[in-house]
């Protein structure tokens, strides 16, 4: 016998009420569980912070840093306070600096510890993680015998990770290439790999003056780095110390092509941007190559005060439009074809040679 309509309605209402109660109860339980896990996460985070600051011995700190990636990937960690992340970043920064400056540990240990620091930094969620490596780019002494091994480790690490730290890694490699002493086989292989050139081209640069290598290194980095990041300015600042007048014409022409690229970008992003700061750093090289030409700057000169606001305006920087400064689409330059750099301050009077860097792809 069928239930009366009123009974069916009452049964439906009771069922909906019971289901709603279960939803509410489950929601409260879930909320309580989430609150418990969040509280636990905060507790564990502060334990992590306390441990990092309590350890003084490098060996103990190394073992602790090794645990950081696993800690971040665990289900325990949901939300790390920014204050804790800043503290961890500070400890990692000190550890990397002390490791690389130490004369009491081997190159193998330095490379292993640097690997651990990069693995840990890759998991940090703070947007300030780049600051951890600024000292390595600005002040670290990369002229030691361990630098080549560290450079190769960094290239390998970059290829196997997320790419988040790529600008930093390529910056460190560029600084290593610029500051290691020529002649070490490991350095030679790293420089060739980084610049994307054949060994005879590398030897040609060195034969006609180390400034050729330094300029080629600057061009390679500046062309392919993310110039929206301030880390690009830091690296360019360290790579720009050489005499561009002592370089081969084909490398000078590649500089002009790179300069034009940055000028165009600065005009797109506007004043007070990293591309403009990069142009400010490189202006003396551009001036040296364009004295007495139609492409010389008119908004400023070599004597303009460094802090003049004119340097912060993209419109102050001209593009090189000299036909004789254009890079050719050629991938090789033999030693026999090269001529020594001219002793003049402008490349306009020097016989032109084909570019070796025009179409080199980004490293990595």
**Segment 31-64, tens digit of pLDDT:** 444 544 455 556 666 666 666 666 667 788 888 8
The one-character DSSP state at 316 is G
Tokens (6 digits) for 210: 């180390």
Burial level of 302, CB count in 10 A (0-12/13-18/19+)?
exposed
Mean local confidence (pLDDT), 99-121: 84
Distance between CA atoms of residues 20 and 14, nearest Å: 10
Please answer whether residues 341 and 248 qualify as being in contact, where contact means their C-beta atoms are separated by less than 8 angstroms.
Answer: yes
Tokens (6 digits) for 243: 């005499």
Considering only residues 197 and 125, tell me which one the structure prediction assigns the higher pLDDT. 197
What lies within 8 Å, CB to CB, of 95 at 6+ separation is 58, 61, 62, 65, 113, 117
Distance between CA atoms of residues 322 and 289, nearest Å: 11
For the chain, strand residue ranges (E) read none
Domain ranges of the chain: 35-121, 141-364
> What mean pLDDT, rounded, does the chain reach?
76
Q: What is the pLDDT of residues 263-302, one digit of tens each?
A: 999 999 999 999 999 999 999 999 999 999 999 999 998 8
What lies within 8 Å, CB to CB, of 41 at 6+ separation is 76, 77, 78, 79, 80
Residue 73 is predicted with a pLDDT of: 79
| Angle formed at CA 225 by CA 348 and CA 248, multiple of 5 degrees | 25
CB atoms within 10 A of CB 211: 19
What separation in angstroms does the CA of 347 have from each of 19, 289, 328?
A: 83, 6, 15
Which phi and psi (to 5°) does residue 208 adopt? -100, 20
3-class DSSP assignment, residue 286: helix
Predicted TM-score (pTM) of the model is 0.72
Residue 38 is predicted with a pLDDT of: 55
Please answer whether residues 290 and 346 qualify as being in contact, where contact means their C-beta atoms are separated by less than 8 angstroms.
Answer: yes
Radius of gyration in angstroms for the set of CA atoms belonging to the chain, rounded to a whole number? 28
- Reported confidence tier of residue 343, pLDDT bands at 50, 70, 90: very low
């Amino acid at each position: 016998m069928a239930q009366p309509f009123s009974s069916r309605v009452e049964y439906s209402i009771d069922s909906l009420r019971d289901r709603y109660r279960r939803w509410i109860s489950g929601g409260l339980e879930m909320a309580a569980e989430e609150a418990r896990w969040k509280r636990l996460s905060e507790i564990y985070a502060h334990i992590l912070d306390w441990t990092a600051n309590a350890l003084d011995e490098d060996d103990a700190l190394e073992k602790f840093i090794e645990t950081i990636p696993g800690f971040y990937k665990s289900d325990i960690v949901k939300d790390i306070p920014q204050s804790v992340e800043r503290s961890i970043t500070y400890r990692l920064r000190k550890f990397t600096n002390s490791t690389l400056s130490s004369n009491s540990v081997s190159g193998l240990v330095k490379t292993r510890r640097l690997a651990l620091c990069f693995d840990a930094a890759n998991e940090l969620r703070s947007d300030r993680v780049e600051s951890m490596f600024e000292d390595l780019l600005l002040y670290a002494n990369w002229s030691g015998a361990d630098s080549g091994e560290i450079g190769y480790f960094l290239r390998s690490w970059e290829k196997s990770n997320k790419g988040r730290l790529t600008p930093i890694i390529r910056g460190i490699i560029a600084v290593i290439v610029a500051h290691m002493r020529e002649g070490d086989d490991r350095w030679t292989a790293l420089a060739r790999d980084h610049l994307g050139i054949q060994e005879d081209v590398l030897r040609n640069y060195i034969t006609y003056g180390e400034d050729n290598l330094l300029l080629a290194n600057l061009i390679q980095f500046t062309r392919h780095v993310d110039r929206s990041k301030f880390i690009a300015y830091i690296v360019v600042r360290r790579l720009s110390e050489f005499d561009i007048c002592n370089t081969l014409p084909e490398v000078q022409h590649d500089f002009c092509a790179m300069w034009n690229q940055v000028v165009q970008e600065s005009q797109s992003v506007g004043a007070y941007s990293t591309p403009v700061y990069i142009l400010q750093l490189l202006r003396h090289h551009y001036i040296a190559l364009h004295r007495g030409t139609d492409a010389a700057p008119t908004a400023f000169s070599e004597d303009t005060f460094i802090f003049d606001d004119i340097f912060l305006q993209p419109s102050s920087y001209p593009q090189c439009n000299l036909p004789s400064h254009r890079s050719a689409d050629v991938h090789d330059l033999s030693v026999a074809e090269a001529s020594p750099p001219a002793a003049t301050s402008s490349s306009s009077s020097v016989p032109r040679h084909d570019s070796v860097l025009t179409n080199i792809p980004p490293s990595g």
